[in-house]
Amino acid sequence: MSEILNAALEYARRGWAVLPLTEGRKEPLGLLVPNGHHDATTDRNTIKEWWRRYPNANIGARVDDNRIILDVESANKGGVDGVARFEEFKAVDKLGPLPPTFTVKTATNGYHYHFKQPEVLKEQTIKKWLVEDAIELKFNGYVVMPPSVTDKGGYEVAAEAGIAFGMAELPKLPTGWAEKCIKPAPKLIRPERSEGRSDDGSFCERNSISVSDVLTVPSNAQKSGDWLAFAHPIHGSISGTNLHVKTNGEAWSCKRCDTHGDALTWVAVREGFIDCSDAGPIDADTFKRCVDVLRQEGIVSDVLTTIHKKERYTIDTLARWLIEHPTHLMTYYRWVIDDFHQGEWNLKTTMWRQIHRVAYHSAMALLHSDMTAPSRAGKTALMLKFLTLLPPGRKEVLTTLTPKAIWYKTLRWTTKQVPQVDSKTGEDKTDDRGNTLKRKVRVKESDPAFYVGKVIAILELSEMKDFGVLKALADEYEVGEFVHSTIIDQQSVDLKIEGPHSVMTTSVTGIQNDVARQVLNRFVQTPLDEPNAKGTADKLEMIANHDLDECTIDKDPRLPVLRRALELLWADGHKVTVTPPSDAVRNLVKTIDRTLKQDGFNLTQIRDFHTFALNAAFEKRFARGDPKTMQIQEDDVLEAWYILTTFGNFARGNLTRAEFKLLRAIPEYAEAATDASDLRQDTGLGVATINDALRVKEDPLKGQGKFLQYGYVNYIQGSKSAMFYRMDDGNEAVKKITTSIEVDGYEKPIEPLNPCPYPYKDLLAEIPDSVDSELDLEDSVEFGSGSESQEGRRGSQI
């Protein structure tokens, strides 16, 4: 064996992990150890194989937590006589002599003194230099070992140190010397980006956030003055006291990493956005991610920061009362939104129940809801008003649905290291050792988790090309992420979308492409009421009242209460445990599943029935006494069944009420076929509605009529006009929905349960103005918006 292999094996025998370095240099031999000193080993077979392949490789030894090396620089390095400074340091500080130890003379005539690291240094921040530019402290990474040779000279065991090469164990660095190696504790500053500060103080001060709100201090923490010391929960601790938290919760400090910060910085460390060793001022993206986490945990409120402090407590108290009374919470919601939109009240109830899907993770299908109606029926107006009620961080509105629109929403600024490029040659720049020089750049990258925990609302969905993108959002990928490959700005892009989320769309009737039909069959169809004279008159009166009073839903004084209630309801939703239902409830679900299948519902819609039941259980967990768990109960199942059966005819057939009425009027048999003019007279529907459904001739854009494309009807060409009759699929689409079934274990037939019976106004009297009679309501505001003729209006205070 060669001399260098013998040396490598000897170091390994002593327990020092070694690695091969490039011949004649000090850098790791990347082909063998791509992770540098992290790949160092004491395994003899691996070491032999390394030096068999590269017999002239130099030797490096990893410096672990058990060793510390005093690296005395050479006398000629940078004009500083390190050896002389070393002797001067020993004399001036009167630390006493160092014990004899394994000593290496370096290629530049300096010295490496190897010592065992004493316990006093285990959880302390160690200085880089014991004496600036003269004595460097090495306590991690790796060092070059004898008999390595570089272009500046060789490394050898210092014979003058009088230490045998085969020394059994390193001596400890004396205590006095070790104490000189400890870096003094830094003066605490607020490591917060400028955007997180204002004249009112830091972000944490403005929101009254303490470190104890985001970090659990164990009961066995040791008190030391104004600090509590305990083991770091992220990277662990040897001494058990490396993490210090101020008793007033203002700051934390890690002794191992020599870092510190406030509650916001700890969230960044805890969530893995930054390493503890990198804690300090955080960039804008990390700041936003930390604030999103605080919002999800209910520590930061989008609502309360916009409300005067004198009014916050009353709003918060009423919101907490509402989440403990879910029936009244839904009533409160209906009370607000009904004052701003004239339309389908069952649809509004369904929309409310759907949105809870974004607050928790489960293996259930994603929940998709499509609001269908003719053009100008008020779909977008209702959606926008509904979205105003939601906390700002929990919704994403797409005004148009294209790959480009979805892609650009997900782009976020991030910092990356890229090679420096020579402007003349176009090649990567390198240093004198051949290492590629790099620079930091800020680039925008797609964040796959951008839509996680949000309601995705799509306001415009009318073109066939949109449906491929909608399928990417609405597909049932329950684990990991879905990748949608597309072309954006003439470049191939993999659009990654992580779940879970909830998708809501508004679409017009008459979308008759087969791909569109397949996609929309994944959605729960929830159409608006068809326009009629009374509905139009009521809407005109409402618009007039709001316009003349300059009243909009975002100015309604009830809005902060509703938003705050949702914040509280959703705060820890992602941590809620789903408890399996009882055998009786499971049997009920299975029975309804079979009934829905027989009634013509597809698998996606049946799974949405399950999700609606989970949403109900989630909303009621505070009322049931254990907010940390949710369990589907009988009333949750019956309410979910009600939601699906309410819009069942439309969900099965992708029909509006007018189209459903028309399809039912068409005869079931060819012998009784009838023409369009008779159908118009029988149903009272307009020519356009009938033509869109029963058009026989191909239209360049829309093709044949919707009923013919779907295979719902067929026709016989008469002498003057086509005569229509229903096919099997058409009969299935108008088949009566089952709303009463016999279930084993129940004495009476089971029926769907309306989660918010109408009229609901009598429940408003039970909602308290405040649950605390001692609250100071001097600065509170009165309810009152919209039409004062609305039944149930009252002048309450919050």
Pairwise pLDDT comparison (614 vs 490), residue with the higher score: 614
The answer to which of 217-226, 640-649, 741-750 has the lowest mean pLDDT is: 217-226
- With 0-12 / 13-18 / 19 or more C-beta atoms within 10 angstroms meaning exposed / middle / buried, residue 163 is middle
Pairwise pLDDT comparison (477 vs 563), residue with the higher score: 563
CA nearest neighbour of 456 among 522, 406, 517: 406
Average pLDDT of the segment spanning 28-44: 87
The answer to which of 179-193, 218-232, 509-523, 637-651 has the lowest mean pLDDT is: 179-193
Q: Identify the residue whose tokens are 């240094």.
A: 121
Taking the C-alpha atoms of residue 610 and residue 621, their distance in angstroms, rounded to an integer, is 17
Q: Give residue 774's pLDDT band: very low, low, confident or very high (50, 70, 90).
A: very low
- Angle made by CA atoms 353, 396, 640, in degrees to the nearest 5: 15
Q: What is the pLDDT of residue 751?
A: 95
**Half-sphere exposure (Cβ direction) of 440: Cα atoms closer than 13 Å:** 3
Residue 332 pLDDT > 90: yes
Average pLDDT value for the chain: 81
Fold (topology level) of 3-181: Prim-pol fold (3.30.2250)
Q: What is the pLDDT of residue 39?
A: 87
pTM above 0.85, yes or no: no
Q: How far apart, in Å, are the Cα atoms of 763 and each of 328, 333, 783?
A: 7, 12, 16
Average pLDDT of the segment spanning 346-354: 91
Q: Give residue 781's pLDDT band: very low, low, confident or very high (50, 70, 90).
A: very low
Q: What is the pLDDT of residue 618?
A: 96
68 within 8 A of 137, measured Cβ to Cβ: yes
With H, G, I as helix, E, B as strand and everything else as coil, classify residue 495. strand
CATH superfamily of this structure's domain 340-535: P-loop containing nucleotide triphosphate hydrolases (3.40.50.300)
In the chain, the percentage of residues whose pLDDT exceeds 90 is 26
For β-strands 149-150 and 153-154, DSSP reports them as antiparallel
Q: Dump pLDDT digits (tens) for 73-124.
A: 876 555 567 788 887 777 766 677 888 889 999 988 888 999 998 888 877 7
Taking the C-alpha atoms of residue 86 and residue 479, their distance in angstroms, rounded to an integer, is 60
Omega of the bond leading into 99 within 30 degrees of 0 (cis): no
Cβ contacts of 747 within 8 Å, gap of 6 or more: none
CA nearest neighbour of 500 among 524, 479, 471: 479
Q: Give residue 785's pLDDT band: very low, low, confident or very high (50, 70, 90).
A: very low
342 within 8 A of 539, measured Cβ to Cβ: yes
Radius of gyration of the chain (CA): 36
Q: What is the pLDDT of residue 60?
A: 94
Domains of the chain, residue spans: 3-181, 194-296, 340-535, 655-733
Q: Tell which CATH architecture fits domain 655-733.
A: Orthogonal Bundle (1.10)
For β-strands 103-105 and 111-116, DSSP reports them as antiparallel
Side by side, the strands of the sheet bearing 58-62 are: 18-21, 58-62, 142-145
Q: What is the pLDDT of residue 249?
A: 85
With H, G, I as helix, E, B as strand and everything else as coil, classify residue 676. helix
Residue 664 pLDDT > 90: yes
Q: What is the DSSP letter of 528?
A: P
Looking at this protein, which amino acid is placed at residue 73? E
CA nearest neighbour of 410 among 338, 333, 495: 495
For β-strands 111-116 and 18-21, DSSP reports them as unpaired
Residue 782 pLDDT > 50: no
Q: Give residue 765's pLDDT band: very low, low, confident or very high (50, 70, 90).
A: confident
Q: Give residue 792's pLDDT band: very low, low, confident or very high (50, 70, 90).
A: very low
> What b/e sequence results for 512-549 when a residue is b if at least 16 CB atoms lie within 10 Å of its CB, and e otherwise?
bbeebeebbbbbbbbbbbbeeeebeeebeebeebbeee
Taking the C-alpha atoms of residue 680 and residue 10, their distance in angstroms, rounded to an integer, is 98
4 within 8 A of 57, measured Cβ to Cβ: yes
33 within 8 A of 20, measured Cβ to Cβ: yes
Q: Give residue 633's pLDDT band: very low, low, confident or very high (50, 70, 90).
A: very high
Q: Give residue 797's pLDDT band: very low, low, confident or very high (50, 70, 90).
A: very low
Cβ contacts of 581 within 8 Å, gap of 6 or more: 589, 631, 632, 633
Taking the C-alpha atoms of residue 631 and residue 614, their distance in angstroms, rounded to an integer, is 8
Residue 341 pLDDT > 70: yes
354 within 8 A of 504, measured Cβ to Cβ: yes
Helix 634-646 vs helix 583-598: crossing angle, to nearest 10:
10
Token pair recorded at residue 575: 């941590």
Q: What is the pLDDT of residue 83?
A: 80
686 within 8 A of 661, measured Cβ to Cβ: no
Cβ contacts of 418 within 8 Å, gap of 6 or more: 438, 439, 441
Q: Give residue 614's pLDDT band: very low, low, confident or very high (50, 70, 90).
A: very high
Q: How many helices (H) and strands (E) does the chain have?
A: 26, 31
CA nearest neighbour of 752 among 333, 343, 346, 357: 346
Q: What is the pLDDT of residue 770?
A: 54
Residue 793 pLDDT > 70: no
Q: Dump pLDDT digits (tens) for 263-274.
A: 999 999 988 888
Looking at this protein, which amino acid is placed at residue 310? K
Q: Dump pLDDT digits (tens) for 161-194.
A: 544 444 457 888 888 888 888 877 655 444 443 3
Residue 772 pLDDT > 50: no
Q: Give residue 202's pLDDT band: very low, low, confident or very high (50, 70, 90).
A: confident
Q: How far apart, in Å, are the Cα atoms of 746 and each of 584, 587, 598, 741, 751?
A: 10, 11, 21, 10, 11
Pairwise pLDDT comparison (163 vs 387), residue with the higher score: 387
Q: What is the pLDDT of residue 522?
A: 76
Q: H or E element: which one contains 227?
A: strand 227-230
CA nearest neighbour of 354 among 507, 509, 517, 505: 505
> What b/e sequence results for 449-458 when a residue is b if at least 16 CB atoms lie within 10 Å of its CB, and e otherwise?
ebbbbbbbbb
CATH 3.90.580 for domain 194-296, yes or no, is yes
Omega of the bond leading into 757 within 30 degrees of 0 (cis): no
For β-strands 577-579 and 455-458, DSSP reports them as unpaired
Question: Which of 101-115, 526-540, 766-780 ranks highest by mean pLDDT?
Answer: 101-115
In the chain, the percentage of residues whose pLDDT exceeds 70 is 85
For β-strands 201-202 and 252-254, DSSP reports them as unpaired
Q: Dump pLDDT digits (tens) for 565-608.
A: 999 999 888 888 899 999 999 999 999 999 999 998 888 889 88
Q: What is the pLDDT of residue 410?
A: 83
Q: Dump pLDDT digits (tens) for 428-455.
A: 888 777 888 888 777 788 887 788 788 8
Average pLDDT of the segment spanning 8-37: 89
Q: What is the pLDDT of residue 78?
A: 53
Taking the C-alpha atoms of residue 161 and residue 167, their distance in angstroms, rounded to an integer, is 12
Q: What is the DSSP letter of 475?
A: S
Taking the C-alpha atoms of residue 741 and residue 748, their distance in angstroms, rounded to an integer, is 9
